């Protein structure tokens, strides 16, 4: 894992929560308790990279709870036996996030060597929005060390034709880009708009605005990073409507005391039978970190399935299901069918 932040914390806690030690817990809260024979607790953590001196050198089980991480604790994670290593900084720490991160002054580890030495099969990129150079660096490391690459960031990797060819030529799969939450503003917005279009309702205007106290919301204060995220979210939402209309979608502000919670506001204006107007207002409140974990669990196992089958390059089905900017967009319903067909042994879309 690259970036031991809130998403990483929730992923590690989630795998532990559904482990053998919690056999009696319900698994209804995850979309796919089993995917092509792989269960949630089959995932093992073998390496982690970060640049924060408060996390580097600590066991993953301890580092995930170090500030500025503020995702909720829902599982007591025992010692994993894997210490967080110093990664490359590059553009991974933004202007505003730098006030929360104490950069470690030690030399960065040889990422490729460590991935190979530890038998890593899937590298998960949890870097923040706008970490373009850093994301591309770790993508190169994944290809060089023959790891599948999960790009949870908006940096174009899986959706970029040149990068897609590099992964295909390198013989490893890639899934991305920009993780779409199990329950979040983008997937909810897309689902509602898709339903309205299928019911013959005309969409005139819509917006989706997020405010929160997590690091991702803090990064959104930086205009260049905010615009990158807004573009990806807007294109993702627009992909389910077969015509253009005015849309605004993205993070709007950072509220420190909200910590890892996020509030999303939706507004939709349109017309139904005979041009009769309607408006719709929705508010969604959730914790940001855990919202992505179920999707990441599915994408990791999708990459593992591809590795087992010798499939390389961008994974169309996995990417459409789990990411805002996939190589081939689909509605949430279609993408779920694609993923399950792929897991069942059918050809990737």
- Cα separations in angstroms, 166 against 108, 171, 320: 25, 9, 20
Q: Does the CA dihedral 331-334-340-341 come out positive or negative? A: negative
Please determine, for residue 19, whether its predicted confidence score (pLDDT) is greater than 90: no
Residue 24: predicted pLDDT:
56
Among candidate residues 264, 267, 247, 272, the one with its CA nearest the CA of residue 197 = 272
Confidence at residue 27, expressed as pLDDT on a 0 to 100 scale: 65
Measured CA to CA, the distance from residue 108 to residue 101 in angstroms comes to 16
**Using a CB cutoff of 8 Å and minimum separation of 24, what contacts does 272-277 make?**
272/200, 272/201, 272/202
The pLDDT of residue 20 is above 70: no
Q: What is the SS3 assignment for 273?
A: helix
Report the pLDDT averaged over residues 135-153. Answer: 98
- Sequence-separated (6 or more) residues with CB below 8 Å from residue 264: 184, 185, 188, 208, 209, 210, 283, 284, 285
Domains in the chain with CATH codes: 6-180+291-343 (3.40.50.720), 185-288 (3.30.360.10)
C-alpha neighbours within 13 Å on the C-beta side of residue 156: 10
197-242 pLDDT, tens digit per residue, is 999 999 999 999 999 998 778 877 787 888 888 999 999 999 999 9
Q: Residue 62 above 60 pLDDT?
A: yes
Question: pLDDT tens across 277-327, in order?
Answer: 999 999 999 999 999 999 999 999 999 999 999 999 999 999 999 999 999
b/e 121-137 (16+ beta carbons within 10 angstroms → b):
bbbbbbbbbbbbebbbb
**pLDDT of res. 314:** 98
Among 14, 45, 46, residue whose Cα is nearest residue 32: 14
Q: What angle do CA 90, 94, 98 make, to 5 degrees?
A: 100
Question: For the CA atoms of the chain, what is the radius of gyration?
Answer: 20
Cβ pair 153, 127 in contact under 8 A: yes
Q: pLDDT, tens digit, for every residue of 155-170?
A: 999 999 999 999 999 9
Per-residue pLDDT tens digits for 91-132: 988 877 788 888 999 999 999 999 999 999 999 999 999 999
Q: Yes or no: say if 218 and 128 are a contact pair by the CB < 8 Å rule.
A: no
> Measured over all CA atoms, what is the biggest interatomic distance in the chain, rounded to whole angstroms?
67
Q: Closest Cα to residue 210, out of 195, 229, 223?
A: 229
Dihedral of CA atoms 347, 147, 300, 293 in degrees, nearest 10, equals: -150
Residue 24 phi/psi, 5-degree rounding, is: -80, -10
Alpha-carbon span 127 to 1, nearest angstrom: 9
Mean pLDDT over 123-152 rounds to: 97
Angle formed at CA 140 by CA 306 and CA 47, multiple of 5 degrees: 70
Contact criterion met (CB below 8 Å) for 156 and 325:
yes
Q: Give the H/E segment covering residue 248.
A: strand 247-254
Q: Quick one: how far is CA 154 from the chain centroid? A: 9
DSSP 121: -
């Amino acid at each position: 894992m690259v970036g031991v932040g809130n998403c990483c914390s929730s992923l590690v806690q989630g795998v532990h929560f559904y482990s053998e030690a919690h056999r009696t817990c319900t698994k209804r809260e995850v979309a796919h308790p089993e995917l092509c024979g792989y269960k949630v607790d089959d995932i093992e953590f073998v390496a982690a990279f970060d640049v924060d001196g408060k996390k580097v050198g600590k066991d993953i089980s301890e580092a995930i709870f170090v500030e500025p991480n503020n995702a909720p604790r829902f599982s007591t994670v025992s010692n994993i036996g894997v210490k967080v290593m110093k990664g490359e900084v590059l553009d991974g720490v933004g202007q505003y996030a730098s006030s929360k991160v104490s950069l470690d002054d030690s030399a960065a580890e040889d990422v490729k060597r460590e991935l190979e030495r530890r038998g890593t099969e899937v590298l998960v990129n949890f870097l923040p929005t706008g970490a373009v150079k850093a994301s591309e660096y770790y993508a190169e490391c994944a290809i060089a060390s023959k790891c599948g690459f999960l790009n949870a960031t908006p940096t174009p990797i899986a959706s970029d034709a040149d990068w897609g060819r590099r992964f295909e030529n390198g013989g490893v799969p890639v899934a991305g880009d920009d993780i779409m939450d199990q329950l979040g503003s983008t997937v909810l917005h897309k689902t509602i708009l898709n339903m309205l279009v299928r019911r013959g309702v005309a969409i005139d205007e819509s917006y989706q605005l997020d405010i929160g106290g997590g690091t991702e919301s803090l990064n959104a204060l930086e205009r260049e990073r905010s615009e990158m995220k807004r573009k990806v979210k807007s294109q993702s939402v627009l992909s389910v409507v077969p015509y253009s209309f005015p849309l605004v979608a993205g993070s709007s502000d950072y509220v420190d005391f909200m910590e890892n919670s996020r509030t999303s506001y939706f507004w939709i204006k349109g017309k139904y039978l005979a041009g009769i107007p309607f408006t719709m207002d929705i508010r969604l409140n959730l914790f940001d970190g855990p919202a992505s974990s179920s999707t990441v669990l599915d994408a990791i196992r999708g990459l593992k399935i591809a590795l087992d089958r010798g499939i390389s390059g961008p994974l169309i089905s996995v990417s459409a299901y789990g990411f805002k900017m996939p190589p081939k967009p689909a509605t949430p319903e279609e993408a779920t069918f694609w993923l399950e067909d792929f897991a069942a042994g059918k050809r990737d879309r």
